Amino acid sequence: MKNILIAPSLLASDFGKVYESIELINKSDADWIHCDVMDGRFVPNISFGFPVLAAAKRVAKKPLDVHLMILEPENYLSDFKKAGADILTVHLEASPHLHRTVHAIRDLGMSPGVAINPHTSVDLLYEIIADIDLVCLMSVNPGFGGQKFIEHTYSKIDRLKNLIISRNSKAKIEIDGGVDFTNASKLVSSGADVLVAGNTVFAAVNPQEAIAKLKFSVANTITS
């Protein structure tokens, strides 16, 4: 059975309690810690940067899955490595020299990922899919937590899965935005490998229990 990874997103957590939030994730069934970096240019919001990532890294016992929603990500790759990123995902829409950027991420010792916006076709990943470890399919328009899941994502997972197989790629499919208890299982049966969850985890009365519930809800899902 495929192990489905759960990646709680720090964006929905209380930023006054970064250590507590990481400790909570450390003790939970979560697999990765999803960190959303926003620059106010690629997306209409600003979140956090290197100092917060470095603080998270000091206590994290799980990999930092860093999602860059910034223009010119290629200028900051070694800084993100220094801050503690394990997986570094850049947006296709923000990276004109994506091949060079992806290889630079790997050469720095991180796992390269590529994220695509809801309107971006998975076909645009054809030439890069064999070089990356992760595709982050945005299931909301990036910039904010707590948005409604876009249903069209299911058909993108399906086409992405076929592309991954046809290109002999090992890339995992990560779904980011609006993931909750009502869609987690269907996402996994459609082919998702990693589920990011912000509000579903941190707006819950008991975030640790919410993580366990998410992990459990997909544990017995038949995967493709």
- Residues with catalytic annotation? 36, 176
Residue 211 interacts, among ligand DX5, Zn ion, none and using kind-specific CB cut-offs from 5 to 8 Å, with none
Told to check if 91 binds ligand DX5 by CB under 6 A, we report no
197 binds, among Zn ion, ligand DX5, none (CB under 5 to 8 A by kind): ligand DX5
Q: DSSP string spanning 45-94?
A: -B---HHHHHHHHHH-SS-EEEEEE-S-GGGGHHHHHHHT-SEEEEEGGG
Vertex 43 angle, CA 25 and 146, to 5°: 45
- CB 42 to ligand DX5: min, Å: 10
d(C-alpha 115, C-alpha 150), whole Å: 15
Gap between the Cα atoms of 169 and 102, Å rounded: 14
d(CA 79, CA 146): 29
The site for Zn ion, by CB under 5 A, has a size of 3
**Residue 183 found at the interface with ligand DX5 (CB under 6 A):** no
Task: Choose the contact partner of 179 out of ligand DX5, Zn ion, none; CB within 5 to 8 A by kind.
Answer: ligand DX5
Give the residue with the Cβ less far from ligand DX5, 67 or 160.
Answer: 67
Among 196, 211, 214, 218, binds ligand DX5 (CB under 6 A): 196
Residues in region 46-75 near Zn ion by CB under 5 A: 67
Alpha-carbon dihedral sign for residues 92, 94, 97, 103: negative
Q: Which residues contact ligand DX5 by CB under 6 A?
A: 9, 11-12, 34, 36, 67, 140, 142-147, 176-179, 196-200
